[in-house]
Amino acid sequence: MATRHFLTLLDLSKDELKSVIERAIELKALRAQGIATEPFRDKVLGMIFEKSSTRTRVSFEAGMAQMGGSALFLSPRDTQLGRGEPIEDSARVISRMVDMVMIRTFGHNVLERFAEHSRVPVINALSDSYHPCQLLADIQTYVEHRGSPAGKVVAWVGDGNNMCNSYINAARQCDFELRIACPEGYEPDAAILAAAGNRVTIVRKPVDAVRGADWVATDVWASMGQETEQQIRMKAFEGFLVDHELMSHANQDAIFMHCLPAHRGEEVSGELLEDEKISVVWDEAENRLHAQKALMEFLQENSK
């Protein structure tokens, strides 16, 4: 058995993804009943954060503690990573001391290089290209609220960013149709899009993506690392606000997701975000915890 990594959603087979989601739902129920699951006793998760985080850090750290292990927060500010020690050397050293590593970084190739030299499973906790852990939580949330996403219509409104790229991979893995509404010049990665075939389409008007959709998602217009583009992006994304008016074009039982943090009044209206009949963002955030616990358990069980 080789070491399994989770750098994109495509690192799991469709069946494996389904079983991780089912296990996440089960772990959530066990926790609600006060039943502990501790497969990580004496195990340590290394957490490398080169960007800020609330949900990802809390969910991985709490999840590891709940499963009997512990987690180590590593920032480039106070490790040799920030002083230029090669990522390959860091991978070889860190992976001899901990049992699993999660990394939040800029370039996706940092994750790939780390994984190549790691003895233990490596998890992508967000890169400029993907955010697959968030998609585990989003899929779990859809399944809990509406059942299987297979055959459904999902609308992505906004930037063709790391979240959008991961939604494209989710469309392949879960067999849903994905319509992406983005301004010209803000499309998702061309190769990721091309690999998904005709189940994913790009439109220019948000309403064309949302019409008849079962699941609508958006994200900030300027991601971490794009702070200097904020003003330009605010202009480019005019008309891309997701609000009740836009949602009125979706199917009657459509739900709204946002990975958070959200900018009320920019990509989503405060009224929609707070409307718990449509918006499932708090469940979505909570499910980061359960989905990643299931993921870590899977990677441990399936790695040598």
| Part in contact with ligand CP (CB under 6 A); list of ranges 50-58, 72-80, 144-152, 238-246 | 50-58
Give DSSP secondary structure letters for 39-67: TTTT-EEEEEESS--SHHHHHHHHHHHHT
Q: At a CB cut-off of 8 Å and minimum separation 6, what does 146 contact? A: 152, 214, 215, 253, 255
Is 199 assigned a catalytic role? no
Select from 223, 269, 292, 300 the one that contacts ligand NVA (CB under 6 A).
223
CB 215 within 8 A of CB 193: no
| Part in contact with ligand CP (CB under 6 A); list of ranges 26-34, 47-55, 71-79, 291-299 | 47-55
The H-or-E segment that residue 281 falls in is helix 281-301
**Residue 75 binds to ligand CP (criterion: CB under 6 A):** no
Looking at the DSSP bridge assignments, the partners of residue 73 are 47
CA distance 40 to 170: 28
For residue 11, the 8-state DSSP code is G
Nearer Cβ to ligand NVA (155/163): 163
CA distance 128 to 223: 8
CA distance 262 to 253: 22
**Residue 219 binds to ligand NVA (criterion: CB under 6 A):** yes
**Residue 55 binds to ligand CP (criterion: CB under 6 A):** yes
Whether 253 has a binding-site annotation, put simply, is: no
Which among 4, 104, 179, 233 is annotated as catalytic? Answer: 104
Whether 104 has a binding-site annotation, put simply, is: yes
CB 283 within 8 A of CB 141: yes
What number of other Cβ atoms are within 10 A of residue 274's Cβ?
A: 12
For residue 52, the minimal CB distance to ligand NVA (Å) is: 9
Task: Name which of ligand NVA, ligand CP, none residue 54 binds, using a CB cut-off of 5 to 8 Å depending on partner kind.
Answer: ligand CP
Which among 11, 134, 164, 179 is annotated as catalytic? Answer: 134
154: three-class secondary structure by DSSP: strand
**Residue 161 binds to ligand CP (criterion: CB under 6 A):** no
170: three-class secondary structure by DSSP: helix
Is 66 assigned a catalytic role? no
CA distance 247 to 112: 38
**Residue 54 binds to ligand CP (criterion: CB under 6 A):** yes
**Residue 217 binds to ligand NVA (criterion: CB under 6 A):** no
For residue 224, the minimal CB distance to ligand NVA (Å) is: 4
Looking at the DSSP bridge assignments, the partners of residue 124 are 103
Whether 226 has a binding-site annotation, put simply, is: no
Select from 18, 251, 260, 275 the one that contacts ligand CP (CB under 6 A).
260
Q: Which residues are catalytic?
A: 104, 131, 134, 219, 259, 288
Binding residues for ligand CP, per CB under 6 A? 53-56, 126, 134, 259-260
| Residues tagged in the binding site annotation for carbamoyl phosphate | 53-56, 80, 104, 131-134, 259-260, 288
Name the binding residues: 53-56, 80, 104, 131-134, 162, 219, 223-224, 259-260, 288
